[in-house]
Amino acid sequence: MVEQFTTAAEAVGAEVKRFPTLNEAVAAIRSRAGGRAVATSALPPPVRSALDGLDCVPAGALHTAEIGISFAQAGIARTGSLLLALSDPAGRSATALPPVHLVILDAATIVADLSALGGTLGALLSSPGSAYLSLITGPSRTADIERVLTIGVHGPKELHILIVEEN
């Protein structure tokens, strides 16, 4: 499934790297983001604390971030897509405004196809209160001028997926 996910994600222009542990994935993020302005969406506590010390931009200046960092709820093998629950607008901006988007994906959460994700999506949408879920597949793209595929219109120009295969 990880293989299939990787192939599909790379086919739509994402960069995929696989890590045996979460720590190694976080280390890779640190080395990539060190010294640059970053914005993050909601992260699991161990990831957040491991990323302590990065130059996080304040909420009012999200548009100045060079790198956005997020953590995926799930992946779809067939299309190389990521599911992100981003109900906080600031966290959402972190995945939409910066030119580079780094996402950590737990290999165990990869499912076969969109319909296999139905249960997860359904649970997230049926819980009380509001919700904003994004399926992200590759970087931002357009073919609106002469149908020529061009990467990076309004969203991230680069999408880096860090797959963690712990256990």
Give yes or no for a contact between 158 and 100, defined as CB atoms under 8 angstroms apart: yes
Residue 112 near another protein by CB under 8 A: no
Residue 148 near another protein by CB under 8 A: yes
* Residues within window 85-104 making contact with another protein, judged by CB under 8 A: 87-90, 92-93, 95-97
- Please say whether the dihedral angle defined by the alpha carbons of residues 135, 139, 143 and 144, taken in this order, is positive or negative: positive
Q: In this structure, what are the phi and psi dihedrals at residue 87, rounded to the nearest 5 degrees?
A: -75, -15
Give a three-class secondary structure readout of 137-158.
CCCCEECCCCCCCEECCCCCCE
Question: Binder to another protein among 48, 133, 158, 165 (CB under 8 A)?
Answer: 133
Minimum CB–partner distance for residue 129 and another protein (Å): 7
Minimum CB–partner distance for residue 37 and another protein (Å): 16
Q: In this structure, what are the phi and psi dihedrals at residue 32, rounded to the nearest 5 degrees?
A: -75, -40
Give the residues lining the site for another protein (CB under 8 A). 8, 12, 63, 78-79, 81, 87-90, 92-93, 95-97, 114-115, 118, 121-122, 124-126, 129-148, 150, 152-156
